[in-house]
Amino acid sequence: MYTFKGESINKGNMRETFFVNQLKYKHTIELSDTADFIVNRKYSFEIGGRTKSKKQIAKLHDAFIVTDNTEFGFGNKIPLWLFGFLY
């Protein structure tokens, strides 16, 4: 992305592209009306920055927040970088 757009890339798009790239080879990924993605028709994921809140997924079961610029997760918050180990 940086090769084609330089520093003007959309960070949200970059986060979501990384997430999908790490999961798509072994999992089914679909778009969701409530969260960003549904994985394996069961787990909802909302992707965002460090301050992403649980508001969008509050009423969903099996839902997680994936955040960039965080070192460790807690509860249903997972650091984005950990998905790099899946590939």
| Per-residue pLDDT of the chain in tens (87 residues, 90 and over written 9) | 777 777 788 889 999 999 999 999 999 999 999 999 999 999 999 999 999 989 999 999 999 999 999 999 999 999 999 999 997
State how far the Cα of 27 lies from the Cα of 33, in Å rounded to an integer: 19
Q: In angstroms, how far is the first alpha carbon of the chain from the final one? A: 19
Q: Kindly list the strands in the beta sheet with 43-48, ordered across the sheet, starting from the edge strand earlier in the chain.
A: 29-31, 37-39, 43-48, 63-67, 77-79
| Length reported for the chain | 87
* The model's pTM: 0.90
